[in-house]
Amino acid sequence: MREWSLRDGELQQTLRDEDAACVAAIAGMFTRHGFATGDAFVRARIVYFTQIGYHAVEPGDTEAGGAALTNDYLRAVNGRTALAARIAACHARVLGDPLADVSLTGGAGPDTQTLQSERRAKG
């Protein structure tokens, strides 16, 4: 579709509008977790456009392989990790369990606590 949009200005604008909405949603998630607006926006663009590229490349990763790297991806993107139970619940939700609890309540991993302390110290 992106290739097609290069020849269709209306479609290209629609895709850009949708991309902007997705980036805004991801940036909102980062700001809710304490990132400054500019940092949140840049991180959101990195996450979103990397994901598009990932699907374009089709690296052939297995679901299990990707799932095993969840905390590594989290740490690389935002310097934080998540509790194993929250990751398992998220994977269950992605795999189709609509009742999986992926709420944002629950404990924070040690990396999150350290990062929050450092931010408070910086003011």
In a domain, 112, yes or no: no
When pLDDT is cut at 50, 70 and 90, the band that residue 107 belongs to is very low
Give per-residue pLDDT as tens, 53-87. 988 888 888 877 878 888 888 888 888 888 888 88
Q: What is the reported pLDDT for 20?
A: 96
Dump the DSSP string for 60-116: ---HHHHHHTHHHHHHHHHS----HHHHHHHHHHHTT-TT----S-S---HHHHHHH
pLDDT of residue 38: 96
pLDDT, residue 86, reads: 82
- In this model, does residue 104 exceed pLDDT 60? no
Give dist(CA 57, CA 48) in Å, integer: 15
In a domain, 109, yes or no: no
* pLDDT tens per residue, range 23-56: 999 999 999 989 999 999 999 999 999 999 988 8
Q: Between 107 and 99, where is the model more confident? A: 99
Tracing tokens 């989290």 back to the chain, one arrives at: 74
Q: Is residue 32 situated within a structural domain?
A: yes
Distance in angstroms (rounded) separating the CA atoms of residues 42 and 54:
18
Residue 47 lies in a domain: yes
Would you state the pLDDT for residue 89? 81
More confident residue, 77 or 98: 77
3-state secondary structure of 36: coil
Residue 12 domain boundaries: 1-60
Q: How many domains does the chain have?
A: 1
